[in-house]
Structure 1
Amino acid sequence: MSGKVSKLAYKPVGLLLGIGAGTVAGFVFKEVWKLAGNDDDAPNATDEDRGWTEILVAAALQGAIFSLVKAAVDRGGAVGVRKLTGQWPN
């Protein structure tokens, strides 16, 4: 399979993996926040009853979890494509 075809074939797979990664990351964040926070729900940036520290910690934790899950899923997808096609998607 040529590089262009492999890259094109990976686009829909990458999109589906991204959607799945977002779903998984959201679930993981909610569970981690329940353990780390004082509340079941993470604060929104506009939540008047929450302080700056709590809001910024929640945002940083959420960003780290989303980035970690996305990188793991993207890497796993690329490895899978290479196993199937023999070429690394770019």
Structure 2
Amino acid sequence: MKASKIAYKPVGLAVGAVSGVVAGAVFKQAWKVLGHDQDAPDATDEERNWGEVVLAAMLQGAIFAAVKAVVDRGGATATRRLTGTWPG
């Protein structure tokens, strides 16, 4: 295994955890912008209808995937700049 991959692992894990927090905050704001006064529903929330539950899940998944891709790509690019090699 390359040294750059080994060095990138702990950084990638830490940045990944932070990106999860950021994605959660972005999702909460997006849910409010869509005009929902309440927090996003859980799948087992009896008071919410199917459409609202599925919409919330789709939006949350899309936001988490996009934030993860941005963070992973940024981390790999930064690693290449610092070490001269791509960590993947």
User: Which band: TM-score by shorter chain?
Assistant: over 0.9
- The aligned residue for residue 47 of structure 2 is 49
- The aligned residue for residue 80 of structure 2 is 82
Q: List structure 1 runs of 4+ shifted beyond 3 angstroms.
A: none
SS at match of 2:41: coil
Calculate the aligned-residue CA RMSD, in Å: 1.0
Q: Which range moves more in the overlay, 73-82 or 3-12?
A: 3-12
Q: How many residues align?
A: 88
Shift of 1:84: 0.4
Unpaired runs of 5+ residues, structure 2, are none
The alignment-based identity, stated in percent, is 62
Unpaired runs of 5+ residues, structure 1, are none
Provide Cα deviations, 1:32-80, integer angstroms capped at 9, x if missing partner: 0011142230000000000000000000000000000000000000000
TM-score by length of 1: 0.94
